[in-house]
Amino acid sequence: MKTRVMLNYAKTVLESVSFDSKLFYKELQKALDHLVPYDVEQLGKWVNSFVQEKPELSDSLHLLTV
């Protein structure tokens, strides 16, 4: 249950900082460092769809392949 809370928190933070691509990148890095592998996969799927609506954030996608 705690991992779901962390995943939802990461999504909320990323949505709230999506106005700034550098801040989005930093927060995505933090989220990837703190989430368990399953939640990293789920966050990756979410980020991919979220970035489609905000192409200015696409530089952050390479974090998901590392």
Candidates 3, 1, 26; CA nearest to 43 is: 3
Q: Is the pLDDT of residue 3 over 80?
A: no
- Give the pTM: 0.89
Q: Average per-residue pLDDT in the chain?
A: 92
**How many other C-beta atoms can be found within 10 angstroms of the C-beta atom of residue 43?**
21
Q: Is the pLDDT of residue 39 over 70?
A: yes
pLDDT reported for residue 18: 96
pLDDT reported for residue 5: 92
Angle between helices 21-34 and 37-53 (to 10 degrees): 160
Alpha-carbon distance of 24 to 55, in angstroms, equals 12
